[in-house]
Amino acid sequence: MRSSLYLGSALAFLLTLILLEPENQTILLGWLAAVVASRILCVSYASIALKRGIDADNTDQHIRHMCLIKILEGAAWGSLVWIVIGQASLAEQLLTLASLAGVSGNAVSLLAPVFPFYLSMQLSQLASMSSKLLIMDDRSFVVLAMGCTLYLVGQVGQALMAQRASRETLMLRFENLELIERLQIESERAESARGRAEEANLAKSKFLAAASHDLRQPVHAQELFLEVLARSELSPVQSKILSNARAASQASAQMLNTLLDFSRIEAGVVEPQRKAFRLQPLLHKLENELGSLADAKNLVYRCRETAFAVDSDPSLLELMLRNLITNAIRYTHTGGLLIGCRKRGAQVQIEIVDTGIGIAPDQTRAIFREFHQLGNPERDRLKGLGLGLAITEGLANSLGHRISLISQVGRGSTFRLHVPLAQGMLIEEVFKPSPDTSPLYSKRLQGLRVLIVEDDMIVRQGMIDLLENWGCECRTAESISEAEEQVTTWSVQALISDYRLRENQTGAQVISHVREVLGRPVPALIITGDTAPARLRDARSSGIPLLHKPVSPSQLYRSLISIVEASSTPPASEQLEPTGTTASPENRA
């Protein structure tokens, strides 16, 4: 409305300047005042209505008021015919009619969206014009009045179409707004669901970490006590019972280590060490180790010879293939499995084909989720935890490898691991048989002074019993202050600390403080039962050799030998002999 005020007033002023004569000065200026006043009234009313607010309750009232204003405005414009027609020159009469036609045409675009506005103004303008034309004696003016009426009828049709288009545009806008609102609501719901899922996943990770840590403590202590018991004199019956107890303990440790593998992947602390190596030694090693599992189920285990070499991490690739092959044996009851390799472009496709139960199409992605198992509703521990494929996919992603699956229910499955072909020089004998690393307990740690920092009484006692059985001299502490008190009065030669201690202290802090107090790098090990991703990253960043509970006695023995031999502080009783063993402070997978 506001823009029409300026244009309409400008047109009225222009017409007044052109048509102004001494004899019509008063009436023409009155006409100009009426037109401008009607325009001002229209804009003022619209502004006031918008400020007060237009809603469903007052719409009809506003329409009635605005229609009255438009009737006045139409009558004002149409009254120009009474001043000009029959009084002015032909040119001025034509200019007047053309200007009024322009005003009428402008009203179509301006007023058509609310059709009563348009119709009120146009009928009022037509009535004002036609009443003058019809009383003229000349028949041409009567024809002109009829032409004006036809012109209005045509414009009414255009106005109705404009109104329909305007209404459809408005409806579309409201539909879009409604759609945007719905999308926003759905987005908020999705975001809320994602937040709840992340919270649930975080809660799951925290629960697993806490449960894993709490379970690792007694299992670790159990391993230590069983080792001490195994080194004592036992009867045949006692030895058999001890053997069964150790088997049960090792099964628990294996499950906990599977959880640790999964936690390491989630924590992002798996750092692949890529090498170029031949596949056949790895496949031969896996066949030797896992073939007995297939034999126990009367399954055929076949592995085709291959000359391919790949670029990957040998340890991580071994773990992935071990998981896939173990899974194939677990879910195959008749027939067997075949392991083979194919070249596909610049990659080697390692295939594990079985004749097992197969996997339904709707489960082909679900089986890679953690703790998802097929055919194990009773959660038989012999069937694992349901983490093998999740770990395998996580390791494949960290290496940039790809894993794919083809399966048919009742016919078996084919897992394919896509690994890059090796380029350049190969590392030979990556999977050569390991030397005998069984602990040689006699005198190797005799007299070694070891400080044990551990706040769990059972684990602490188990460590003392085992290390003293190996000939070590042991003292214990539970915190940084106790450790400092011990080392200031006792010449410590090695330090073994739990990672998470009381009062938010860590083993890394204890070791760092002890080394600072003594002014020398005391050989040290960190043993942790934590699997929380954040703590795994923190423990790993300390740079101190890291072992994960439950630690087998042989692993602890070799690691202790390794850090002591690597330092300049041998045991008090003798210079240690080289053993050829290497520390295994941290399994990378």
Could you write out the DSSP letters of every residue in 155-216? HHHHHHHHHHHHHHHHHHHHHHHHHHHHHHHHHHHHHHHHHHHHHHHHHHHHHHHHHHHHHH
Q: What pLDDT does residue 262 have?
A: 55
Interatomic CA distance for residues 239 and 78, integer angstroms: 120
Interatomic CA distance for residues 580 and 288, integer angstroms: 25
DSSP character string of 232-250: S---HHHHHHHHHHHHHHH
Tell me how far CA of residue 122 lies from CA of 82, 129, 230, 483, 524, in angstroms.
17, 10, 111, 100, 99
The three-state secondary structure class of 122 is helix
Full-model pTM: 0.44
Q: What pLDDT does residue 318 have?
A: 84
Residue 229 tokens read as 């018991």
User: DSSP class of residue 499?
Assistant: S
Q: What is the pLDDT along the chain (589 residues), one digit of tens a residue?
A: 777 778 888 888 998 888 888 888 889 899 999 989 998 998 899 899 888 888 888 888 989 998 998 899 889 988 888 888 888 888 888 888 888 888 888 888 888 888 888 888 889 888 888 888 888 878 888 888 888 888 888 888 888 888 888 888 888 888 888 888 888 888 888 888 888 877 776 666 666 566 556 666 777 777 777 777 777 777 888 877 777 776 666 656 655 555 555 555 555 555 677 888 888 888 988 888 888 888 888 999 999 999 898 988 887 888 888 888 988 898 898 999 999 999 988 899 999 999 988 888 777 666 766 554 554 443 444 444 456 677 788 778 878 888 888 888 888 899 999 999 987 667 666 665 444 444 445 577 888 999 999 888 888 888 898 888 888 999 999 999 999 999 998 999 999 998 888 888 888 899 999 999 988 889 999 888 776 666 667 767 777 888 887 788 888 888 888 888 887 544 444 433 333 333 333 333 2
Q: What pLDDT does residue 138 have?
A: 80
Q: What pLDDT does residue 549 have?
A: 77
- What are the residues whose beta carbons fall under 8 Å from the beta carbon of 369, sequence distance 6 or more? 390
Provide the 10 A C-beta neighbour count for residue 541.
10
Q: What pLDDT does residue 587 have?
A: 36
Q: What's phi and psi for 478, nearest 5 deg?
A: -115, -5
- What are the residues whose beta carbons fall under 8 Å from the beta carbon of 579, sequence distance 6 or more? 440, 444, 558, 561, 565
- What are the residues whose beta carbons fall under 8 Å from the beta carbon of 572, sequence distance 6 or more? 447, 448, 449, 493
**CA torsion sign, 79 to 84 to 90 to 96?**
negative
Interatomic CA distance for residues 231 and 233, integer angstroms: 7
